[in-house]
Structure 1
Amino acid sequence: MNHTSFGLRRFSSVEELIADLARRKAKAKLMGGPEKVEREHNLGKYTARERIEKFVDPGTFMELGILNHSDQPGAEVKSPADGYICGLAKIEGRPVLVQAADKTVFAGAEGQVYIRKARSLKEYAVKRGIPIFELAEGGGLRMPDGMGSDGISASLPSREGLRHGRQVPHIVGIMGDSFGGPTWHAVTSDFAVQVKGTCMAVGGPRMLEIATGEKISNEDLGGWKLHSEKTAQIDEVAENEDECMEKMKEFFSYMPLNATEEPPFRPTNDDPHRIVDEVLEIVPTKRNRAYDMTKLIKTIVDDGKFFEIKPLFGRALITGFAHLNGRSVGIIANQPMRFGGAAGPDECDKAIEFISLCDSFHLPLIFLHDIPGFRIGSKGEQQRIPSKIMAWNQALAYSTVPKLSVIIRKSIGMAYSNMCGPGLGADFVVAWPTAEINFTGPEVGINVVYGNQLIDSENASEERKELLNQWSFDSSPYKAAAKHLIDDVIDPRDTRKFLCQSLEYACLKNGSKSERLLATWPSLY
């Protein structure tokens, strides 16, 4: 063998070449060096490699790009793997791409080789139908790598990367302060978890102060409370890195590997025909009394397991995942504990994003109604609630996964449509006998239609009672059922049985597969 042509004159044998390769890889695995690794440990944090080791199935990580380093002159020896550790692995036996920013190399900031590697491997994952996981932190683009017309031109997002159309699940954990790139990835992912105490923003407080003069703390700029309660740019919050990784895995357990597959079934011994007597105690007979809808959901689904999405945002609406007879489903339900279940602009955005996600990855949708309408008023109008209400309806109209709709108590006005009432593509719409379905609630309706008459009435109290009785009758589900405007009125105790049976028929031809018409909607929807 002629080693000279390969620039390997100093090695006299293959064994020496192999030993040199091993030394190079061992050096790369030291990351930024022992002092920087210790600094991360002293902060109570894992290194990028430790995160991956804890995250994936033991012995499955196949690293790609370990011999990378910065292409900036003089930075080669200071940038093992160019600060981004990537490869293929398995999580609970399922193949994934996992990427982790290395805070010990240039503070986790992105260089050109880092960007090239990440982009290349993501494109490969989409090509081969492999889910993408990112364990994210870092300071955005490195100044030397981004400066000049060539630097910034090479650093911008790619058209292909932005148009993958939810071909594979993309799941991000914000494990440390994240600016620039990690933020772009989190807000365009399918599921993002933020660890408390971290910051996620376009630029950090120091850059913000230099650029605009604004002084602000990390927490106020991009902390977990902001993003979980107001911006909805994250889906879940974690107390620490371990919990963050567990929540990422739990989300993944409901997802297919890619858009060509159905979500996996979860074995269960929970009888699909189980009678749920408990629902009679959970839901009050009086329609103005609140109750916790999550208790009702957990009573109905397999083994009482419900994984809520965006629990701190738009809290009058519940969205999340569960299983029914082993099948993954998405659930959209009103929460009477918040605003009586009435939806506002945030609830609209939450519903749209969740419908798009479930339809793109073939999760049937279950709707549980108890909604008195929308929170209308000047504030809602300023937040474009008419547009948001109709966008919610459009998302439903374009969704093609199986959809089942159960009216628990109230479904009033346009909100009846938004909760997948008749005409919005539900496979079946049924109601409990407690259901109240109408253009508006009895009290409001009577005040609008008969207000002047009651003012002039000599016996207004008795007349109001008589009108309320009439409106209550008109609002019962039986008139709609009689005209086949809804499919049935069911015993509340049969709700689980109805859902499991209906899903079996709704998924008979193509499983739960949709036409994925919402896959190209922006991922924030």
Structure 2
Amino acid sequence: MADEPRGTAERIDDLERRRAEAVSEADEAAAAKQHPRGKHTARERIRLLVDEGSFVEVGEFALRRGASFGAEGTPPHGDGVVTGYATVDGRRVCLFSHDFTTFGGSMGEVFGEKVLRIMDMAMKAGCPVIGINDSGGARIQEGVVSLAYYAELSRRNSKASGVVPQISVIMGPCAGGAVYTPALTDFTVMVDRTSRMFVTGPDVVRSVTGESVSAEELGGAEVNGSVSGNAHYVASDEADAFDWVRALLTFLPPNNLTAPPECPAAETAVPATDLDAVVPDSPNRSYDMRRVLAAVLDEGELLEVHSAFAPNILCGFGRLGGHSVGVVANQPLWQSGIIDIDASEKAARFVRFCDAFNIPLLTFADVPGYLPGREQEQRGVIRRGAKLIYAYSEATVPKITVVTRKAYGGGYAVMGSKHLGADVNLAWPTAEIAVMGAEGAVELLHRDELSEAAANGVRDTVRAKLVAEYRATMTTPYVAAERGYVDSVIRPSRTRERLVEALRMLEAKREESPPKKHSTMPL
């Protein structure tokens, strides 16, 4: 480089000086503010997530335009957000990371332009986009401009929905307009004790309603993860949050035009023969559906989504013979696996995501039906419960269902039944498929006979006989198999084998929807 023209060398030196000012000095100041709070800086968070040395920053020299209302002085480079692209386990992603130490991570004009640009890049490149959120919301100093960019970002989220996977990681406060963009993404991750997400903070709630509530009670990670269902995963710390995101990405395709990634097939976590004894002899005893999944999925691995929300239904990603699959399963340990409003909406959203990104669906049914009661009816179980019916009906990916035990009433119909378009339906010999359970049916159908038996002191004997007859003639899976509603009744220990065969057979499935502008799913 000795004979290099002096002008070029000076320009290169100027570049390095500018980069140092834009990155190094800002990072040092940010670390001094964030580390005492147990939080990482914007760039440290990116380094925790992506492959070492893979991050390429875009827009590091961007500067805020204009100054007013306390935003005077030399504007910081980047304007409060770090944007760029990188790889995670060798797969390309686009991402942005809020810098809370710059204007509280609030969105202004340049901030908004940078985020929109990286989202547009993600859609053009066909790769997932990850937003690391730590923001005070709209930048008050820039007025309506900041609001405009939140609306623009929401429009981008909507445009990208079903095109590329969108993941939001909430690392700090997320309030006001800032909460709606994570709500529009596919998955939201929060961190215990440091994340907050609410439309209006405690002070505003107190001034408007008089209600005194803490930030944690109003919008802490636990509340969003288990009560409102806004968070799909609650991490113990920031490193755990990024570990979950990396695990999630291994199951997802980069976009809606590609197939999910494949891995070498692996053995299950427990022997298949365990399934022959997993369902208790007594219909009133519960069992853990995770035991079934451990004997079916590769390595018994299920990456659960919304594990703390509506635990009566399990949703998550696994692999079957090396292929990514989405799993929806009733959980008998919680309310006998009954479907309520929260379970229906949780599963419906998951089914629609899998359908959008070509991920086959495995359904395991052990369900007594929809939860009855005044509260459920008044909260709209009809329209909100219909979401799961709609999601299964709309899905065109391979759909395979296994009925392990009870499948009663509307619960049978909605949990991946043949009538909603399932491709392969299997049942165990322990399955009971009927309008209702034998005990309830006998009480309704033989009311007079039971009353007479009670008068003769033999009610229990007569009732037991009638229940046994009803089970033998009405709820047995062979009745459904005779009509073609069940393709085969199988030995439980053969479940994985049959599922792998079915998935292989359906690998090239094609199913076209009729032409239309868009659907109008239940609200």
TM (norm. structure 1) is 0.91
**Residue pairs, 1:54-133, within 5 angstroms:** 54-73=48-67, 75=72, 77-133=74-130
CA distance in 2, matches of 1:517, 1:52: 42
Contact 1:412/1:439 (CA < 8 Å) preserved in 2? yes
Once the two structures are superposed, what CA deviation does each residue of 1:285-326 show, in whole Å capped at 9, x if it has no partner? 222111111121111110111111101111111111100000
Q: 1:524/1:447 Cα in 2 relative to 1: closer, same or farther (>3 Å)?
A: closer
Once the two structures are superposed, what CA deviation does each residue of 1:126-148 show, in whole Å capped at 9, x if it has no partner? 1220210111111001101124x
CA distance in 1, matches of 2:299, 2:325: 14
Contact 1:178/1:199 (CA < 8 Å) preserved in 2? yes
Q: 1:317/1:204 Cα in 2 relative to 1: closer, same or farther (>3 Å)?
A: same
**Residue pairs, 1:126-165, within 5 angstroms:** 126-147=123-144, 152-153=147-148, 155-157=150-152, 159-165=155-161
The alpha carbon displacement at 1:77 in A equals: 2.4
Contact 2:161/2:185 (CA < 8 Å) preserved in 1? no
* Counterpart residue type for residue 49 of structure 2: F
* Counterpart residue type for residue 470 of structure 2: W
The structure 2 residue matched to 1:48, chosen from 14, 39, 42, is 42
Q: 1:14/1:414 Cα in 2 relative to 1: closer, same or farther (>3 Å)?
A: same
Give 3-state SS (helix, strand or coil) of 1:113's partner.
helix
* Counterpart residue type for residue 333 of structure 1: A
Give 3-state SS (helix, strand or coil) of 2:359's partner.
coil
Give 3-state SS (helix, strand or coil) of 2:131's partner.
strand
CA distance in 2, matches of 1:182, 1:269: 41
Partner of 1:6: none
**Residue pairs, 1:342-361, within 5 angstroms:** 342-361=338-357
CA distance in 2, matches of 1:63, 1:91: 15
CA distance in 2, matches of 1:328, 1:286: 34
Contact 1:31/1:80 (CA < 8 Å) preserved in 2? no
Q: Does 1:461 align with 2:486?
A: no
Q: 1:39/1:223 Cα in 2 relative to 1: closer, same or farther (>3 Å)?
A: same
Contact 1:360/1:517 (CA < 8 Å) preserved in 2? no
304-313 or 156-165, which deviates more = 156-165
* Counterpart residue type for residue 168 of structure 1: V
* Counterpart residue type for residue 508 of structure 1: A
Partner of 2:494: 494
CA distance in 2, matches of 1:23, 1:155: 33
CA distance in 2, matches of 1:514, 1:140: 42
Once the two structures are superposed, what CA deviation does each residue of 1:210-269 show, in whole Å capped at 9, x if it has no partner? 666554321011111211112111101100000000101111111000011010012134
The alpha carbon displacement at 1:12 in A equals: 7.6
Partner of 1:288: 284
Aligned length in residues = 510
Partner of 2:224: 227
Q: 1:210/1:49 Cα in 2 relative to 1: closer, same or farther (>3 Å)?
A: farther
Partner of 1:373: 369
Contact 1:430/1:490 (CA < 8 Å) preserved in 2? yes
Percent identity for Structure 1 against Structure 2: 31
Q: 1:81/1:329 Cα in 2 relative to 1: closer, same or farther (>3 Å)?
A: same
Partner of 2:504: 504
CA distance in 1, matches of 2:355, 2:142: 39
Q: Does 1:307 align with 2:306?
A: no
The alpha carbon displacement at 1:90 in A equals: 0.4
Partner of 1:4: none
Contact 2:174/2:198 (CA < 8 Å) preserved in 1? yes
Once the two structures are superposed, what CA deviation does each residue of 1:425-455 show, in whole Å capped at 9, x if it has no partner? 1111111011111100111111122223312
Partner of 2:404: 408
Q: Does 1:27 align with 2:21?
A: yes
Give 3-state SS (helix, strand or coil) of 2:227's partner.
helix
Q: 1:260/1:344 Cα in 2 relative to 1: closer, same or farther (>3 Å)?
A: same
The alpha carbon displacement at 1:72 in A equals: 2.7
The alpha carbon displacement at 1:187 in A equals: 1.2
* Counterpart residue type for residue 104 of structure 1: T
CA distance in 2, matches of 1:519, 1:352: 21
Partner of 1:244: 241
233-242 or 43-52, which deviates more = 43-52
Q: Does 1:204 align with 2:204?
A: no
Contact 2:133/2:174 (CA < 8 Å) preserved in 1? yes
Contact 2:27/2:43 (CA < 8 Å) preserved in 1? no
Give 3-state SS (helix, strand or coil) of 2:97's partner.
strand
Contact 1:404/1:499 (CA < 8 Å) preserved in 2? yes
* Counterpart residue type for residue 131 of structure 2: E
Contact 2:30/2:41 (CA < 8 Å) preserved in 1? no
Partner of 1:8: none
Once the two structures are superposed, what CA deviation does each residue of 1:389-441 show, in whole Å capped at 9, x if it has no partner? 32211111110000001110110011101101121111111110111111001
Contact 2:344/2:384 (CA < 8 Å) preserved in 1? yes
Could you say what the CA RMSD is over the residues aligned between the two structures, in angstroms? 2.6
Give 3-state SS (helix, strand or coil) of 1:278's partner.
helix
The alpha carbon displacement at 1:385 in A equals: 0.9
Q: 1:475/1:371 Cα in 2 relative to 1: closer, same or farther (>3 Å)?
A: same
Partner of 1:470: 469
Give 3-state SS (helix, strand or coil) of 2:470's partner.
helix
TM (norm. structure 2) is 0.92
Give 3-state SS (helix, strand or coil) of 1:243's partner.
helix
In the alignment, structure 2 segments of 5+ residues that lack a partner are none
In the alignment, structure 1 segments of 5+ residues that lack a partner are 1-10
CA distance in 2, matches of 1:307, 1:518: 34
Q: Does 1:17 align with 2:14?
A: no
Give 3-state SS (helix, strand or coil) of 2:172's partner.
strand
458-467 or 424-433, which deviates more = 458-467
The alpha carbon displacement at 1:14 in A equals: 2.4
Contact 1:32/1:78 (CA < 8 Å) preserved in 2? no
Give 3-state SS (helix, strand or coil) of 2:78's partner.
helix
CA distance in 1, matches of 2:505, 2:30: 58
The structure 2 residue matched to 1:445, chosen from 432, 441, 445, is 441
The alpha carbon displacement at 1:153 in A equals: 4.1
Give 3-state SS (helix, strand or coil) of 1:258's partner.
coil
Contact 1:330/1:364 (CA < 8 Å) preserved in 2? yes
Q: 1:271/1:251 Cα in 2 relative to 1: closer, same or farther (>3 Å)?
A: closer
Partner of 2:383: 387
Give 3-state SS (helix, strand or coil) of 2:446's partner.
helix
Q: 1:370/1:160 Cα in 2 relative to 1: closer, same or farther (>3 Å)?
A: same
Once the two structures are superposed, what CA deviation does each residue of 1:58-111 show, in whole Å capped at 9, x if it has no partner? 111110000012113264624220010010100000000011001111111111
Contact 1:85/1:101 (CA < 8 Å) preserved in 2? yes
